[in-house]
Amino acid sequence: DGGITQSPKYLFRKEGQNVTLSCEQNLNHDAMYWYRQDPGQGLRLIYYSQIVNDFQKGDIAEGYSVSREKKESFPLTVTSAQKNPTAFYLCASSITVGGGQPQHFGDGTRLSIL
Amino acid sequence: RKEVEQDPGPFNVPEGATVAFNCTYSNSASQSFFWYRQDCRKEPKLLMSVYSSGNEDGRFTAQLNRASQYISLLIRDSKLSDSATYLCVVKGGSTLGRLYFGRGTQLTVWP
């Protein structure tokens, strides 16, 4: 089945530790996105990528880094510089950035601080 | 001003009721509009796109008023399974085409 796979589902991080969240898609989509959702809040864009080897900062990129070495993969690293990383992280993809296509989401990773 | 504003809810309605959600957006150049549904502790899932002429999908009707920059979602004959948070989503007017999400409106349908 085609879709977006995020792993792990739950992740615990110690203070000062970097962690990487995985996002893989087999939909052949060019565009991929990372969002953060906090309780009672809307989704906020962290980073997005329009095409392989290209990515752009979203609204809250500080403390995060990404790479897009393959079309299928868009991992997100939460660095120790992110002081409040506890949140629900959602990866999404769409055929392209432009046009009227919606985005489709993976089932998310919940990150908590130990 | 936020890009997308929604009724905060929560809406608590009995089965069979008709319920309407509203949403306004700030960027008049916005191109595409969607309603997503998000169940508790799950990812958002596309419910329906919203077209200029309005569109219907079973019990769900979406309408767009570009002049007022207003989007609505009507749910008829509510089911228990409709209980969820409904997100109003607007695609920006730039070539970037990024999505802007409302905070969501929580709906609970009770028996």
**B43-97 pLDDT, tens per residue?**
999 999 999 888 999 999 999 999 999 999 999 999 999 999 999 999 876 556 6
Token representation of residue A39:
């309780």
CB contact under 8 A, B96 and A105: no
Nearest CB to B103; choose among A41, A88, A90: A41
CB contact under 8 A, B98 and A90: no
> Does A97 contact B at CB distance below 8 Å?
yes
What residue of A is the nearest CA neighbor of B91? Answer: A100
DSSP B82: G
Q: What is the pLDDT along chain A (114 residues), one digit of tens a residue?
A: 569 999 999 999 888 899 999 999 999 999 999 999 998 788 999 999 999 999 999 999 999 999 999 999 999 999 988 889 999 999 999 988 776 788 899 999 999 988
Nearest CB to A43; choose among B45, B46, B101: B101
Provide the Cα torsion B18, B24, B29, B35; round to 10°.
-40
Token representation of residue A90:
């959602």
**Other C-beta atoms within 10 Å of A64: how many?**
21
Report the half-sphere exposure of B97 (CA within 13 A, side-chain side).
18
Instruction: Assess whether the previous peptide bond of A8 is cis (omega < 30° from 0).
Output: yes
| C-alpha span between A78 and A61 (Å, rounded) | 10
| C-alpha span between A33 and A68 (Å, rounded) | 11
Q: Which of B87, B84, B107 is nearest to B18 (CA)?
A: B107
DSSP A59: S
